[in-house]
Structure formats: structure tokens, C-alpha cells
Amino acid sequence: MSCMQTIADYGLRSIGIGERLLPTTDFTLCQQFTLIGSGMIWNIYFGVFALAAGFLLATVVALGKASNNVWLRKPADWFIFLFRGSPLFIQFFFAYFLFLNLRSSIEFFEPFTVAWLGATIVLFLNTSAYAGEIFYGALQSIPKGESEAADAYGFSGISKFRKITWPTMMRLAWPAYTNEAIFLFHATTLVFFSGFPAWRQQGDALYYASYFADKTFNPFVPYPILAGYFIVLTLIVITLFGVINGRLNRHLPKESRPKIRYRPKILR
């Protein structure tokens, strides 16, 4: 079988298109690159949807934590503490068994027990807590002079937040938020170890890397391929977020614009 035929047969297997049966003998590098790359579709899906929804919730959480109203501040505090204080791996298992119990009495929760929805919700809540703390720190770092200037020009309420507070918060938070986005994509590999079953049993990149490692008894080929895909994904995220960072800071002199630097998190 040629490499092009392998790509045609297995390139979209992770989403149910192409050959259903996995190769069982004579494993080639093309098969490993193709199937692990196919699994990356799910990792990208988890990361993009969790990041997009988490960005909105993180903004709300940051504003809640910065609020003087105790009924807004305390729920935001506890939300951040709960999801930052417990391991993501445990959150996956807790959520899976919670959705499983709810499904037994309420049919509505049936999709929540599958990875495409249940695992995405866990990642969404987790990144919202981390990003919410990042945005809160940025809110606290906004120079008082900017707020006073906005008041002097007659800005108030939503108008002040939209034109002054929110853009400044984003400029201050963006480098740290970029690192959170990178780590979120890396954290999608934990879905493989969680209790959430894959859609139609066709899994993510780590599922295929583990399959080849088990079949060939050689983990030094599939796992470096997996790492290579994530390195490429990381470079793409850094590039995209760097473009946005430049847009946010376009009013500053080039030498004064903050640079995007990847700082790995040792602990989650």
C-alpha cells in the first residue's frame, strides 16, 4: 500500500471517515504519522472549543472576583479555587461519574458521558478558572491614571469597560494567556486517560500513539511523532497569539511591545 493510499484510508479515521479496521502487521512510518495526525483532529477540537468558551467565562469570572459585591466575588473566588486547586485528571473522572449518574435518571445527559462533549466541558471549566485568575491579575494592574482619564472624558459603565478597561486588561494579560492556551492544548492528551469514551471508539492522537507502541513494542517511534505534532501545534498557537498581541499593542512603539514567550508550567 502506498503512502498516499494510507493517507486516503486513515487520514480522517478519527472522525469516522475511511477504514474502520486498524493495521495489525507491517506497521510503516506513514501509517503512524497518518493515524496519529488523524487523532490530532480531536485534540485540536477539544482545545479550540474549550479555549473559545473559556475566554468568555474567564472574563466574567475575573470581573466577578474584582467586584465589590460579595454575591459576585465569592462564587468567582470559589470557582477559581476549586478548578485551580484540584488536578485536571481528577476533574475528568469526577465529571464522568457525575454525568453517568445524572444520565441514569435524566436522558438529557446522555451526550455528556462521551468525550466530545463531557471532556470538552471539563477542559472549558478548567481553563476558565486559570484564565480568570490571569485576567483578574491584569485588571488589578491597570494603571489608575487610565481609569481617571476615562472618567474625566465622560466614559462610564459599559462604555468605559469596552473602550478602556477591557482592551487594557487584554494587553496586560495576553502573554500569560498565551501560555495558558498552549498548556490547554497539551492537557487535551489527558482525555485519553479519563473515563470518557471516544466517539465511536475512534480516539485522539495519544490513543493511536499508544496503539502503535503496544503493537510494535517500540515507544520510541510513535511517541516522538506525537510530540512532534504538538510542537508544531504549539508553534502555530504562538504565531496566532503573537499576531493578536501585536494587534492589541499596535499603538505602542515596536521596542516597547511585550513579546510572547512560552514558559512551561511544571505543575497544573
CA angle 205, 210, 212 (to 5 degrees): 100
Instruction: Please tell me the CATH code under which domain 24-256 is placed.
Output: 1.10.3720.10
Per-residue pLDDT band for 29 (boundaries 50, 70, 90) equals very high
Question: Tens of pLDDT along 139-180?
Answer: 999 888 877 787 777 777 788 888 888 999 999 999 999 999
Q: Which residue has the higher pLDDT, 232 or 146?
A: 232
Chain Cα centroid distance, residue 249:
24
Angstrom distance (rounded) from CA 229 to CA 215: 21
Question: Tens of pLDDT along 215-225?
Answer: 999 999 999 99
Q: Which residue has the cell 479555587?
A: 81
When pLDDT is averaged across residues 67-85 and rounded to a whole number, the result is 96
Chain Cα centroid distance, residue 90:
17
Domain ranges of the chain: 24-256
